[in-house]
Amino acid sequence: MKLIKEEKISKKITKQYSYDFMLAEDGLYLIEIIASAKSWWQNFKTSRSFFKDDDIFLYLDNQELTTSQYTKKDARSAWNGNELCGLEKTVIVATSLSKGKHAIDLKPDQSPYLKSIIVSKVEENDKIIYFPTVNNPAQKSEGRPWLSYIILDLFITKLSILAYADKNGRDDDDLKLLINGKIQINENTKSHRDWYWCGKALKGKEKSFNQDINLKTKQFNLDLYSDETPRLSKIEIGIKPAETKRIPTVDDPLWTGDFKDDADEMILARAVFGEGRSLPDEGKVAIAWSIRNRVEDDRWADNYHDVILQKNQFSAFKIDDPNWEYVKNPFYEINPEQLTAWGKCYKIAGLVISGEIKDPTGGVNHYFSDYIDYPSWTKSKNAKFIMKIGNTLFYNLKKESNGGFIRIKYLLLALLIILIGLGVYLAILWQFGGRETEQICEAKEGRSIEDVNGSIEETAGGLYGYYHHVYINPKKSEVERIFFDQEGRFSELKRLTNDGHYKYDLKLFSSDSFRFGYFQDLHKGDEDFDENNDKQREEYYKNYTSLIISPGYGSTPIEVYRGNDHTSSWEWEDINHVKVYNNCGTCCRYYYLININTQKIEEEGHLEVEETACMQIR
């Protein structure tokens, strides 16, 4: 390992901290960052903030890197104060980098502490060996993230970790290993199951973890959680040498022949340079934002490459255009003016992608030069002229209206009417709970519940013009959907279940009400068991409740989990996953992460942070 650059920062950061470094050659590099973050309670006690923990979000060359598999903002932070409670955590990034300038950006929430950054070059071509010299052994704690290793776009052949743990009086050192979020189990029956290195069993001896990987992924994560003060000896990662391929950089931007080799920042910089290098800086920013606005508009592709390379969109990318040579090679004409313009275009591209330059155009997505005929799209009633910069006119071509959308003020009015109507309906249910739902429908339409259930076609088109709400009928304990028309008047009622089982804890994934779930008792009210029969009692409480998910509109609800009487709650993790929680004792909760599509448990474990917090309270 060859040291390239080392920086001892040792200070709190309250705004974005940018760390630039230059590389003399292409190669495989290791970046080591050590920082700490405090919990909301620590910040509250010292009046630093009110119910907010410290967090740090990590970016490398404008790409966000996360040590978590989840999408929630707080979970994405590489350093999470509620997990670390003021202790140090090491984050290592192994990746191939091209020669030239690179940037590490650390974006804090509140005021975390940044200790050091080290950049090293890996000299072996078939393995990466990391020997920790700082933050080792771990600072004393009770189960928290200690080290995260992020490997980007490399073919990993094998993984080897050597560490040791000891017994310390009544307690012992422990070290937990997670690979891509999955806990590696300790098979020693005398050890803690979820802690691969257990001091109670090792008693100061070293133990190695070895696994063949033989996998290439965009991002590979391994995480070490420490309890007490375990020590890490080394991490060795076997890799398959990649074919050397030049990646264009700001200092070496020559086109490789394939724009896929360009990062987003590079291809956007080419577009700005080819289309508007002679414009003032505000013109370059407007061109960059016109492209980003297309990326964020569903009329175009959702990425910079496809938007820019779309046929007949940007003239500089046509091979017969005089600007094509400048797109391929921004150094095509070597003079100070062109070199300065290229540097500005590249910088502007990065700032626009990261959002550090806000859109000053009001949403432009089209432009053209004033020396050509006005394009046909300018004659559209949806084409709004925004500004002219230099010789370039910028427009916002809005979406075509099909007449089916209500203007925002009318939409807000309609939503208000819906809320009032829903409130009236629920008040009726509360006041006249003894009446059957069918009676309400008959009072309106003179029809039975079967007639009502069949009157609206179960298609997305069948709901056009209706507002609806999903709930559990407190009288029937069945899931129903109520419909209102655009004026907020009650229209129809649909019963979605009719099985007689008690249902509770209904949760919607989002406000559209099509994706929802609920707990359902497996035993009906009249079911019982023989109190003197232990086997019947055990079976009764073992299969006590189930989690039912309706994965989308028109889909049949499915059972994704079946649990015992200790099942306490659940929540949506993302569109494809749910978490179910079980009470496992005083200050103890156990969770299961379940894939809705496969109905399989992908992750499970104790909520150790909650346990620690509980012990502190006690």
Specify whether 171 is located in the same domain as 130. yes
Q: What is the mean pLDDT of residues 213-221?
A: 89
Structural domain boundaries, residue 136: 2-239
Dist. CA 554–CA 222, nearest whole Å:
40
Q: What percent of the chain has pLDDT over 90?
A: 53
Last residue of a domain, one of 397, 413, 438: 397
Q: Which residue has the tokens 């309670």?
A: 41
Joined tokens for residue 410 = 């009318």
Q: Is residue 246 part of a domain?
A: no
What secondary structure does DSSP assign to 469-509, as a single string?
EEEE-TTT--EEEEEE-TTS-EEEEEE---S---EEEEEES
pLDDT digits (tens, 9 = 90+) for 343-367: 999 999 999 999 999 999 989 999 9
Check if the beta carbon of residue 504 is closer than 8 Å to that of residue 546.
no
Specify whether 63 is located in the same domain as 163. yes
Q: What is the pLDDT of residue 437?
A: 37
Dist. CA 471–CA 562, nearest whole Å:
22
Q: Which residue has the tokens 């020396």?
A: 371
Specify whether 441 is located in the same domain as 554. no
Specify whether 302 is located in the same domain as 232. no
For 167, the 3-state DSSP assignment is strand
Specify whether 42 is located in the same domain as 172. yes
Q: Is residue 254 part of a domain?
A: no
Q: Which residue has the tokens 């000299």?
A: 123
Global confidence as pTM: 0.44
Q: What is the mean pLDDT of residues 380-406?
A: 82
Q: Is residue 558 part of a domain?
A: yes
Specify whether 274 is located in the same domain as 228. no
Confidence of residue 512 (pLDDT cuts 50, 70, 90): low
Dist. CA 275–CA 284, nearest whole Å:
9
Which residues does 114 contact at the CB level (< 8 Å), separation at least 6?
A: 9, 10, 11, 12, 13, 17, 33, 35, 56, 106
Q: Kindly provide the b/e burial profile for residues 281-291, where b requires at least 16 CB atoms within 10 angstroms of the residue's own CB.
A: eebbbbbbbbb
Specify whether 477 is located in the same domain as 514. no
Confidence of residue 615 (pLDDT cuts 50, 70, 90): very low
pLDDT higher than threshold 50 for residue 618: no
Last residue of a domain, one of 498, 528, 554: 498
Q: What is the pLDDT of residue 482?
A: 83
Q: Is residue 131 part of a domain?
A: yes
Check if the beta carbon of residue 307 is closer than 8 Å to that of residue 291.
yes
Specify whether 23 is located in the same domain as 165. yes
N-terminal to C-terminal alpha carbon distance within the chain: 47
Specify whether 424 is located in the same domain as 386. no
> Exposed, middle or buried: residue 205 (CB in 10 Å: 0-12, 13-18, 19+)?
exposed
Our count of domains for the chain comes to 4
Q: Is residue 125 part of a domain?
A: yes
Q: What is the CA radius of gyration of the chain?
A: 30
Specify whether 219 is located in the same domain as 293. no
